[in-house]
Amino acid sequence: MRKIESRPQVSWKNILFLTDFSESSEVALPFATSIARGYGIKVFALHVFTPDPPVCDMPPKVAIAAIEAGVQHAKARVESQLVGLEHETIVDWNTDLWEAVQTAIEANHIDLIVMGTYGRTGVDKFLMGSVAEELFRRSPVPVLTIGPHVQTSVHGNGRFDRVLFPTDLTDASLAAAPYAISLAQENSSRLVLLHVMPIPREMNDEIRNDYEWKQFINSMRPLLKDAELHFPAQSLVEYGDPAERILEVGKERSSDLIVLGVRDASGHIGAAAHLECATAHKVLLHALCPVLTVRERTD
């Protein structure tokens, strides 16, 4: 098990909200604005326009003018929801989505990315294939994803009352531990630590189950050292498919935030990475609450 880094205080200053300017993708915007108001920070709304081959017979100049007019209309709609907040709306014409996001992160000193998974274009592409892995695995800052099953009610002042932190005790999953604990500490949240194991041959072996639970408690003890939590953290050991049990426990505990550690890209994006990230993808797409992913840093 990795040595846990010192716990960072959550001090977000700049949020990057990713949008494809569709009304469906903007369902995530209230979460970004709520956090921005709660922490008093700036919102950067980024739309990456990836030109497709011409699909109409209009002359190129006319087509571009029509597209730009549509973009400006959508941009005004997003900005109307950011009234009262310090904000900036960015439209980047770029064929490389990750390159555009990376540029925005670096240029605007982004601390947190907020995105939805509702749209069928633009942002939706981030949860498909290699582009998704580039975002989750290469982003140097946490990513808050609002999935299609998340209720649209806004968290008061961007705060979370019930935080679920699943871990398989690997370096990748433990990368998110400092954020889960810090958020629980700063929000006076109820924190649940969850470890999912394969189903043992004898599920009625209470002695074995108790032993594994105690082992998990001992593993978590260093994480919680010096943490000033309003409520004692709860530790759970569950058995079965990791993604399914995470989703079930999240629902049972009425979690309003799941914090997941994800693997670093390590310069390779491909089929193997898809298999390794299957649990995270399933949780992101089916969770009833927002999911905060934090990538393992190897650089």
Range of weakest confidence among 57-66, 80-89, 102-111, 278-287 = 57-66
* pLDDT range class, residue 122, cuts 50, 70, 90: very low
Asked whether the domain spanning 160-295 has the same topology as the one spanning 14-146, the reply is yes
Domain 160-295: assigned CATH number: 3.40.50.620
| pLDDT of 148 | 81
Domain boundaries of the chain, sorted by first residue: 14-146, 160-295
How much is the average pLDDT of 274-299?
Answer: 78
- Interatomic CA distance for residues 44 and 77, integer angstroms: 14
Owner of token pair 């941009």: 75
Confidence class of residue 247 from pLDDT cuts 50, 70 and 90? Answer: very high
pTM above threshold 0.85: no
Element housing 234 (H / E): strand 234-239
pLDDT (0 to 100) of residue 156:
60
Work out the number of other CB atoms within 10 angstroms of the CB of residue 222: 11
Check whether 230 has a pLDDT greater than 50: yes
Return the top range by mean pLDDT from 55-64, 113-122, 125-134.
113-122
Residue 61 backbone class (left: φ over 0; alpha: ψ -120 to 50; beta: rest): alpha
CATH of 14-146, one of 3.40.50.620, 3.40.50.300, 1.10.150.80, 3.40.50.10860: 3.40.50.620
**Dihedral sign from CA coordinates of 10, 14, 20, 24:** positive
Paired with 47 in beta bridges are 91
